[in-house]
Structure 1
Amino acid sequence: MTMRKRFQLFRPKAADNGRLLGVVSDFQRFSIHDGPGIRTIVFLKGCPLRCQWCQNPESMLARPEILYIRNNCIGCNLCQEACPTHCIEAVSGRGIVIDKAACLLPLCGACQAVCYANAINICGRYLGVDEVLEEVELDREFYDRSGGGVTFSGGEPFAQPGFLLALAAGAKDRGLHTAIETCGQADWEVMEPVLAHLDMVLYDLKHMDPETHRQLTGVDNRRILDNLRRIDRLGLPIRVRLPLVPGRNDSPENLRATAAFVAELTHVEALDVLPYHRMGEPKWGQLDKDYPLHGLAPYTKDAVFALAAIMEAYPIEVTVGG
């Protein structure tokens, strides 16, 4: 890839002659856990929550960001030489340190362009609706054979409402099955138009107590629960997802409250228990952030199924792993 092409990847919306652009962090192909069939997941950047266990911290901010993988760095200093604002400094024992206030992203990308050791990666590309959907349609044959399609995820996809609406409508116009994975923390006036173009909703519930939810994610859950009830009244198929985190939301009281709430809904296909894991922790360090749950051990398999059994007493299907 040429230097010019890399710079184009990070162009801002204002530089694209009015064409609607969104910030996409990644595409995940051949997914089988985020809706029916084989799917492509489109990860949009930006999220209103700050979950302590977030597995995609690079998707919290709705703009391109630099991730620095120190173990890959070979100390060649090419990134320092290429940086037009000299915001990269080599620091003994730390590799390089980037002054993000002085960094020119999204107008730049020179550091990644010269980093052949793959130590600097820029997460987030400004893409148009057709660019995203053309990427999704590369695997159209797999969707048609398996009953799959596209799933919009994040971050929180409703954090880019205009772009999401255009993506969902465009995907339906192309005959694709559409799903969304959402935390539900958005204005209903933003969500409702998008839902008209969706075939399924994957809905995260973090905790049933409003104050505990605030402590764990930065916001309470009142709007989240209300929006889930509204979606249920629309008749869309829903899979509720519970990220099960040791010592945070795994008490029997919270599990029973979650199951009781979900059991009252009409169009929920299942309650999916997603056991805590630490695979996202390295990305916190790559963003120069402290991981809030450092050292927290994941559950054993037996412990996960014992906790899931608490919710199986309610009239809902409970699955482990989605």
Structure 2
Amino acid sequence: MFHQTPQVTTSTTTFGYIHSVETCGTVDGPGIRFVIFATGCPLRCLYCSNPDCRYLENGKKVSVDELIAEIQKYTSYMKASGGGVTISGGEPLYQPEFIREIFRRCQELGIHTALDTSGFCNLEIAKPVFEFVDLVLLDIKSFDSATYTKVTGVDIEPTLIIAKYLSEIKKPTWIRFVLVPGLTNEVENIQGLADFVAKLDNVERLDVLPFHKMGEYKWEELGYEYKLKETPTPTPEEVEQALAIFRNKGIPTF
């Protein structure tokens, strides 16, 4: 079942919860990005790099006005590089009204907007957010449904519904797939994802992201059990094999 937490709204501004910001990000969309990490997430991904973003209350309550004021300090860097603002998490769609208002204000200022999401959200709740998004970074963590649930703790179907909707409205999208040895690297799983993505009309690129353990220390600090301690990083050959499957379907890969 979806759980959406209402945001605190007044007549003048909207409030939400964030973990932190990165002022000069270069991996979450084109150009130099102002990246906002929102808190709250219904997924429990085994390899999550931001487990400290799981719960809304772990974040700092901020207003959209505060964030926009901070964003405007970096406008020249973003525009000169073809960058903009990216909202990641956590799962941004956990706070839809807050995220929508940030993006709406950014677009008023002519700032490019990107949403980094798992797509685990009721489509009708997500639609008003997509209205003010220039680019979606959609994480599809597996195509095999059983593997997807093992990785995330939730069902894949909402993500596939959102992926199809983004294609219908021709919303520019980058697909992200994390390659995890012994978990998501089965050829049949990758082939299934390639077949699905090849049918979409809006995908500009697909990124194969090698599994890493950079967030493991956070799990330990929070007292969570990190179940992928013995999982290796994929070899360059394994990454290339996955890339080749996507390329064979005509999907631009990075």
Task: Please state if 1:304 is matched with 2:239.
Answer: yes
The separation in 2 between residues aligned to 1:216 and 1:30, in whole angstroms, is 30
Task: Please state if 1:262 is matched with 2:203.
Answer: no
Query: CA offsets per residue over residues 183-211 of structure 1, 9 Å max, x none?
Result: 00001111111111111000000111222
The equivalent position to 2:62 in structure 1, one of 127, 130, 137, is 127
The separation in 1 between residues aligned to 2:11 and 2:167, in whole angstroms, is 39
Q: Which residue of 1 aligns with 2:4?
A: none
Task: Please state if 1:30 is matched with 2:21.
Answer: no
Q: Which residue of 1 aligns with 2:39?
A: 45
The separation in 2 between residues aligned to 1:18 and 1:218, in whole angstroms, is 37
Q: 1:17 to 1:168 in 2, by over 3 A?
A: closer
Task: Please state if 1:61 is matched with 2:61.
Answer: no
User: Would the aligned equivalents of 2:208 and 2:242 in 1 still touch at CA under 8 Å?
Assistant: no
Look up the equivalent residue of 1:234 and give its one-letter code: I
Task: Please state if 1:136 is matched with 2:71.
Answer: yes
Q: Structure 1 segments of 4 or more deviating over 3 A?
A: 16-19
Give the CA deviation at 1:309: 1.8
The separation in 1 between residues aligned to 2:75 and 2:114, in whole angstroms, is 15
The separation in 1 between residues aligned to 2:74 and 2:12, in whole angstroms, is 29
Instruction: Report the TM-score when normalising by structure 1.
Output: 0.74
Query: CA offsets per residue over residues 116-156 of structure 1, 9 Å max, x none?
Result: xxxxxxxx211000111222222111111111100011010
Q: Which residue of 2 aligns with 1:146?
A: 81
Structure 1 gaps, min length 5 = 1-12, 65-123
Query: CA offsets per residue over residues 148-177 of structure 1, 9 Å max, x none?
Result: 100011010000111111111111112110
Q: SS at 1:283's partner residue?
A: helix
Q: SS at 1:216's partner residue?
A: helix
Give the CA deviation at 1:25: 0.4
The equivalent position to 1:194 in structure 2, one of 115, 123, 129, is 129
User: Would the aligned equivalents of 2:140 and 2:176 in 1 still touch at CA under 8 Å?
Assistant: yes
Q: Which residue of 2 aligns with 1:169?
A: 104
Give the CA deviation at 1:298: 0.8
The separation in 1 between residues aligned to 2:69 and 2:218, in whole angstroms, is 28
Identity of aligned residues (%): 37
Q: Which residue of 2 aligns with 1:249?
A: 184
Task: Please state if 1:316 is matched with 2:213.
Answer: no
Q: 1:221 to 1:154 in 2, by over 3 A?
A: same
Q: How many residues align?
A: 247
Give the CA deviation at 1:182: 0.4
The separation in 2 between residues aligned to 1:214 and 1:144, in whole angstroms, is 39
Q: Which residue of 2 aligns with 1:208?
A: 143
